């Protein structure tokens, strides 16, 4: 299975066939609504979140030049370093494109890590408000990852990085989160057929 991601359009294909992204599925079902937020505010938050993700990715790969890091990003990176230390986390994959061949959707996992040499965790990094839909997002990523990977995800986490240099963790355990995501996928497909 070949997954391709077009960053400019934020679109995915599986074996050349367009598939929806995890976030577009959740948005299409009406569970996330950004209509009341000015587009420039959303764009600024998106760009900042992307910069923080990139800094943590480069740090995890051992290629980040911290001397050139923008000062506004440093506390978020410090929070990430604290999380890694506190949980004895070893990142084994970062910014990983995954797709479900079974359900025909795709997305980008922020991190796969081994925690305390005990279990494999899927980690989604957030820099803003953590929506309840993160439970659905991480469940969808887990489903896609588990379809093809040798190791299976044992924990789903959101690690919210804060401008104070602290982190906050949300653990998702509800096994029915994937069912809600798949219902959202069916809603998206139903809406597309109605056009």
In this structure, the chain runs to a length of 195
Closest listed residue to residue 111, CA positions, set 67, 155, 79: 155
Domains of the chain: 3-194 (3.90.320)
Stated pTM of the model:
0.91
Closest listed residue to residue 31, CA positions, set 142, 161, 139, 187: 187
Closest listed residue to residue 106, CA positions, set 183, 30, 8, 185: 185
Model confidence pLDDT, tens digit, residues 101-142: 999 999 999 999 999 989 999 999 999 889 999 999 999 999
pLDDT value of position 120: 95
Q: Do 134 and 124 meet the contact criterion of CB atoms below 8 Å apart?
A: yes
Model confidence pLDDT, tens digit, residues 165-187: 999 999 999 999 999 999 999 99
């Amino acid at each position: 299975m070949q997954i391709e991601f077009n960053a400019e359009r934020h679109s995915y294909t599986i074996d050349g066939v367009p598939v929806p992204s995890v976030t577009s599925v959740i948005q299409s079902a009406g569970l996330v609504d950004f209509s009341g937020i000015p587009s420039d505010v959303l764009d600024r938050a998106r760009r900042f979140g992307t910069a923080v993700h990139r800094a943590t990715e480069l740090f995890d790969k051992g290629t980040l030049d911290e001397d050139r890091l923008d000062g506004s990003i440093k506390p978020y990176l410090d929070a990430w370093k604290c999380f890694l230390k506190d949980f004895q986390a070893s990142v084994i994959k970062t910014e990983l494109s995954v797709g479900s061949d079974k359900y025909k959707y795709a997305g980008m996992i922020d991190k796969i890590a081994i925690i305390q040499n005990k279990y494999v965790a899927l980690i989604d990094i957030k820099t803003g408000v953590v929506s309840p839909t993160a439970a659905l997002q991480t469940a969808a990523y887990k489903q896609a990852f588990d379809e093809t990977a040798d190791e299976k995800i044992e924990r789903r986490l959101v690690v919210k990085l804060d401008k104070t240099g602290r982190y906050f963790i949300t653990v998702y355990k509800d096994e029915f989160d994937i069912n809600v995501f798949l219902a959202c996928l069916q809603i998206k497909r139903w809406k597309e057929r109605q056009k």
